[in-house]
Amino acid sequence: MKLKLHVWRQNGPNDKGRLETLEAPNVSPDQSFLEMLDDVNQALAVEGKDVIAFDHDCREGICGMCSQVINGVPHGGQERTTVCQLHMREFKDGDDIFIEPWKARAFPVIKDLVVDRSAYDRIIEAGGYTSCHTGGVADGNAILIGKEVADYAMDAAECIGCGACAASCPNSSAMLFTGAKVAQLAVQPQGMVEAHRRVTAMLDEAKACGFGNCTNHYECQASCPKGVDVKFIAKLNREFMKAMFK
């Protein structure tokens, strides 16, 4: 296949940025999207041109690093699919493809398609953990947890923190990410002790980072590559209300 790429190029958060048109002349339908970008970068390097900066790590749909908006949709719009799992057979010969980074105030562009997602790390640092004494590892069955609670917590824990929810939200809200992290701990005995402090601290940090509020557009759930449900935002709101009364 021969494709025309319109790639966002930006040298840093203070640079204006622009779309640059590049040719991808020999694309295999069996390639992943990132492998296609690898080939484009190899050609640019041979010509002595600046290669496209983009994030990647595991390339197995786990790490959440490949933060790209493809044709206006985070991760390309395929259901439960990250960019590294998106294959070129989803496109047609001669297609124009627009590739941009996450665009949210809390995710400043570092270079081209690479954004700074450390805002999510700061939300986790604010309370996305349980405090415990260091020492020997406790027995896994020391505190029994029912299957219903365990399944609920595991569903929340599927969030890989990629940022697609905030990038797709018109308010750049991090409520789905924060809700998943709060809900995962709120239903477990180990997490209940610090539940009130956790939810207020994490929401305060999300606000400080520049994320907006949820107004029920559901774009976050639609773009989440792991299918994290907005029910966790509802759980977040309930936990916050309990913390306020506490």
CATH 3.40.50.970 fits domain 3-111: no
Tell me, what's the pLDDT at 144? 87
Rounded mean pLDDT of 67-95?
A: 96
* Residues in a beta bridge with 115: 109
Report the percent of the chain where pLDDT is more than 70.
Answer: 99
Tell me, what's the pLDDT at 152? 97
Residue-averaged pLDDT of the chain: 95
Tell me, what's the pLDDT at 133? 75
Greater model confidence, 136 or 62? 62
Instruction: Report the CATH number of the 117-245 domain.
Output: 1.10.1060.10
Tell me, what's the pLDDT at 41? 98
d(C-alpha 92, C-alpha 114), whole Å: 26
Number of helices (H), then strands (E), belonging to the chain: the values are 9, 7
d(C-alpha 72, C-alpha 168), whole Å: 9
pLDDT band for 139, please (50, 70, 90 cuts): confident
pLDDT band for 136, please (50, 70, 90 cuts): confident
Topology agreement, domain 3-111 and domain 117-245: no
Find where tokens 């929340």 sit.
156
Rg (CA), the chain: 20
Full-model pTM: 0.93
Rounded mean pLDDT of 10-21?
A: 94
Rounded mean pLDDT of 26-45?
A: 97
Using DSSP's 3-state secondary structure scheme, residue 92 falls into: coil
The pLDDT tens digits of the residues spanning 189-203 come to 989 999 999 999 999
Tokens of 156: 């929340």
Give the contacts of 212 (CB within 8 A, at least 6 positions apart). 169, 171, 172, 173
pLDDT band for 160, please (50, 70, 90 cuts): very high
Give the residue extent of every domain in the chain. 3-111, 117-245
